[in-house]
Amino acid sequence: LAKTTQPISMDSYEGQEVNITCSHNNIATNDYITWYQQFPSQGPRFIIQGYKTKVTNEVASLFIPADRKSSTLSLPRVSLSDTAVYYCLALSGGYNKLIFGAGTRLAVHP
């Protein structure tokens, strides 16, 4: 399983775009990049997943460059309710074992 590295914490303000970068230098060919969000005292929630290029859904966008050694989660116009821990994972095909890294604590301020 590829190891991922993310910033420990980030601060932002309401209405700003937030980009959280994740490094996964030893990502395998069949790994998917997956992001989960976790609010205090709740279970993690799936946000977005991608293999390469760009994926967008109603919550976020995920940018993965051609070499796939890093990825960026983009949250447009954050609000206070986006304050949470965001986990980046590289999931291998054929093996659905989630190994969570430390995650990024995002604090959104008024």
Partner 1 sequence: DTEVTQTPKHLVMGMTNKKSLKCEQHMGHRAMYWYKQKAKKPPELMFVYSYEKLSINESVPSRFSPECPNSSLLNLHLHALQPEDSALYLCASSQREQGAGQETQYFGPGTRLLVL
Residue 107 touching partner 1 (CB under 8 A): no
What is the smallest separation between the CB atom of 100 and partner 1, expressed in angstroms?
3
Pick between residue 47 and residue 75 the one whose CB is nearest to partner 1. 47
Residue 82 DSSP SS3: helix
Residue 86 DSSP SS3: strand
Pick between residue 16 and residue 21 the one whose CB is nearest to partner 1. 21
Binding site for partner 1 (CB under 8 A): 30-32, 34, 41-46, 49, 87, 90-103
